[in-house]
Structure 1
Amino acid sequence: MSNLTKSKLISVFSELGTQLQSPDEQLSAIINDEKQYNAWFTPESVSRAVIAIGHMLNVHDLENWLSNYNLNFSHVPKKIGLILAGNIPLVGFHDVLCVLITGNYALIKASSQDSRLIKYVLNMLVAIEPTFYDKYIIVERLEKFDAVIATGSNNTSRYFEYYFGKVPNIIRKNRSSVAVLTGNESTEQLFKLGHDIFDYFGLGCRNVSKLYVPKGYIFNFFFESIEAYQPIINHHKYNNNYDYNKSIYLVNSDKHFDNGFLMLKEDKKLASPLAVLYFEYYDNLHSIENSLETEKDNIQCIVTASPLSLKSQLVDFGMSQQPALWDYADGVDTMAFLSNL
């Protein structure tokens, strides 16, 4: 890695970004075939994820991002165990990027739901810069690691803490994302919010699973603005979730709103079932800020156009699934963690 400078790394990864934005024939074939291994990974979803990473790896953002860190390319590489999630395509790429760009060695435990894409993208990286050929390995079991970054659920995190608690670690649990509406949003803003709700079928921690709305909010305009997303109901797994949750609400006589492909239900919880969006009324923005502050350890990002005075990751409508390089999962700076080992 000693022959790679910061400027060379920026050149290499921005070239990878360029290639991901215009997939070649082989990558296009993988994008189209993923649905055979994971029914949620439709060509549209996989293509969206690949291109989003391509956009993320641009020269300007890479320069800004890396300017915050003192990269030491002469250090002895640490072996970093990575347990990647598989809920949306290439969701673990950013962790792999951080390990490689800090000159460390990645031991990658890919999810069975998403193992082919990450392998191919890393092959693309090696084709651009052969130095990376022996900087990572994809393993079935993590062994002989110096540190661990593991992404899972609240359940698996307990096992991760037990097994990996003796080494430096980042262990991620369940998080949800929310949107704060004022009632003054335009059709365009609410349409963009549809991306935050429906991209990747709502399976990501950056997908909005709950709305905070002012008291007396009427949902008609919201439903009209997201009508273009109606074809999502044609996906059999999404449709199964919709039918299942609808039947439960009907049997239990639970009050809810339903537009034929999304249900809205008033609930204090953050994480809603698939095809359901929870909502909660608020009195004023100050009260909602207090509520969000108490839930900050459970929230990944907040979609809003309101000037909230929160330190959490505030994002504009339509941008929750378009994170920048410095939008770290759970707000934990992965690069600082790796740089300080």
Structure 2
Amino acid sequence: MVLDDKKKAFITLGKFMSQFTAVPFVSDAQVPNNASFFDSFVELMHSSVHYNGWFTIEQVMHAVRTWSNSLTEENINIWTSKYNLESEPLKKVGMILAGNIPLVGFHDLLSVLLSGNIAIVKLSSNDQKVLPFLVRYLISIEPGFDGRVVFVEGRLEGFDAVIATGSNNTARYFEYYFSKYPSIIRKNRNSVAILDGNESEEQLIALGRDIFTYFGLGCRNVSKFYVPTGYNFDAFFNAMFHYKELIEYEKYSNNYDYNKAVFLMSEFKILDNGFMTIMEDKGYASPISSVFYEYYDDLNELSNRLLDEEQKIQCIVSNDLIDGSIAFGETQEPKLWDYADGIDTMEFLLKL
């Protein structure tokens, strides 16, 4: 396959996905093979919650919208322009995918295919429907991809390299089992925000998207924020109130009730607004419906501390308070060149 054909196929896939970014879904007659795939994908999106209770149609739509916005000719050309992708190594890359949010492994699959390699994919039991469907569509518009994505169950075998994502515990197993192979092993990470009290209401509302999209289950979700000593939380809570409807979702509500009860029985000091709690804590990984916070006195000192602990952090959000931070509301809108854990997946694949 030539590179241009691969890129065109993913651009077409992006156009297909763009039909499912807002309700009601509207079929575009210009999208290839729509007659065979449109209605089936509508049904799949509506039924996703039956396969994973956290995959509401709104959350699946957000993932599809993010990828449809990314898979444009401009974005793909910008991303791929820095690499030599003309050769086809056809190395077999084993992929062990997480299932915490919809399509969480799509970027790895995209990278493997554009780099001219073969993906051997072990799906998470929590996300087994959407990605295989999109691969079938991709093959329907570019048959050259047929045989280049193999979904497997059970033990992963016959690979030349591995990309595996899991918890810190499973990462230790991955590192041992795959020690003889080139690999990218991803562990737990969390994202943080830094506030200084000068944020606008719009910025704080956008921060709410960073916290609550995918119910806070992704590594790019803000699970902790830092505030200056003496910070008044009123503006923060007023902005968070825009997301109060989350409590109407049973799984989220159950987590809120449970975690709040645990905090209270443990006599932790919490702040509560009826659908989320915040608690002062030095950790990064807060439970669902809760966000940790910590006070700071010196921004430079905080910046150095976060740099020292960068292996635990996926994103830092702020209003340009420190170098490398991203704007409020953008954690779940990564660019194609925003690599997980800061590891250039494409460069890794091209060195195999």
1:224-235 equivalent positions in 2, closer than 5 A = 224-235=238-249
Map of 2:332 onto structure 1: 321
* Partner SS for 1:82: strand
Q: Which amino acid aligns with 2:204?
A: L
Distance 1:132 1:42 in 2: 30
Map of 1:162 onto structure 2: 176
- 1:149 counterpart = 2:160: no
* Partner SS for 2:285: coil
Distance 2:43 2:63 in 1: 15
1:197-216 equivalent positions in 2, closer than 5 A = 197-216=211-230
Q: How far does residue 109 in structure 1 lie from its aligned partner after superposition? A: 0.3
Q: Is the 8 A contact 2:320 2:327 kept in 1?
A: no
Distance 1:222 1:309 in 2: 23
- 1:173 counterpart = 2:187: yes
* Partner SS for 1:315: coil
1:81-120 equivalent positions in 2, closer than 5 A = 81-120=94-133
* Partner SS for 1:108: strand
Q: How far does residue 158 in structure 1 lie from its aligned partner after superposition? A: 0.8
* Partner SS for 2:177: helix
Q: How far does residue 125 in structure 1 lie from its aligned partner after superposition? A: 0.8
Q: How far does residue 61 in structure 1 lie from its aligned partner after superposition? A: 1.1
Map of 1:187 onto structure 2: 201
Q: How far does residue 83 in structure 1 lie from its aligned partner after superposition? A: 0.2
User: Over residues 306-337 of structure 1, what are the superposed CA-to-partner deviations in whole Å (9 max), with x where a residue is unaligned?
Assistant: 24134xxx221111011110111111100000
Map of 2:14 onto structure 1: 17
User: Over residues 170-217 of structure 1, what are the superposed CA-to-partner deviations in whole Å (9 max), with x where a residue is unaligned?
Assistant: 000000000111111111111011110000000000000000111111
Q: Which amino acid aligns with 1:328?
A: Y
CA RMSD of aligned residues (A): 1.0
Distance 1:144 1:8 in 2: 27
Q: How far does residue 9 in structure 1 lie from its aligned partner after superposition? A: 2.6
Map of 2:50 onto structure 1: 36
User: Over residues 266-290 of structure 1, what are the superposed CA-to-partner deviations in whole Å (9 max), with x where a residue is unaligned?
Assistant: 0111111111100011112212101
Structure 1 runs (4+) greater than 4 angstroms displaced: none
* Partner SS for 1:134: coil
Distance 1:321 1:84 in 2: 18
Q: Which amino acid aligns with 1:13?
A: F
* Partner SS for 1:177: strand
Q: Is the 8 A contact 2:162 2:181 kept in 1?
A: yes
Distance 1:307 1:274 in 2: 27
* Partner SS for 2:146: helix
Distance 1:11 1:61 in 2: 12
What TM-score does the superposition give when structure 2 sets the normalisation length?
Answer: 0.93
Map of 2:35 onto structure 1: none
Map of 2:29 onto structure 1: none
Q: How far does residue 247 in structure 1 lie from its aligned partner after superposition? A: 0.8
Name structure 2 gaps, 5 residues minimum. Answer: 21-37
Q: How far does residue 8 in structure 1 lie from its aligned partner after superposition? A: 2.8
Q: Which amino acid aligns with 1:171?
A: I
Distance 1:303 1:145 in 2: 37
Q: How far does residue 133 in structure 1 lie from its aligned partner after superposition? A: 1.1
Single out whichever of 251-260 and 77-86 deviates more from structure 2. 251-260
* Partner SS for 2:274: coil
Q: How far does residue 304 in structure 1 lie from its aligned partner after superposition? A: 1.0
Distance 2:308 2:284 in 1: 12
Distance 2:200 2:89 in 1: 53
Map of 1:257 onto structure 2: 271
Q: Which amino acid aligns with 1:11?
A: K
Q: Which amino acid aligns with 2:19?
A: S
Distance 1:339 1:58 in 2: 23
Identity among equivalent positions (%) equals 51
Distance 1:19 1:29 in 2: 15
Distance 2:16 2:328 in 1: 27
Distance 2:96 2:212 in 1: 26
Q: Which amino acid aligns with 1:152?
A: G
User: Over residues 133-162 of structure 1, what are the superposed CA-to-partner deviations in whole Å (9 max), with x where a residue is unaligned?
Assistant: 111110013111000000000000011011
Map of 1:337 onto structure 2: 348
Q: Is the 8 A contact 1:182 1:306 kept in 2?
A: no
Map of 1:297 onto structure 2: 311
Single out whichever of 270-279 and 9-18 deviates more from structure 2. 9-18
Q: Which amino acid aligns with 1:53?
A: W
Q: How far does residue 297 in structure 1 lie from its aligned partner after superposition? A: 0.5
Map of 1:131 onto structure 2: 144
Q: Which amino acid aligns with 1:225?
A: A
Distance 1:8 1:144 in 2: 27
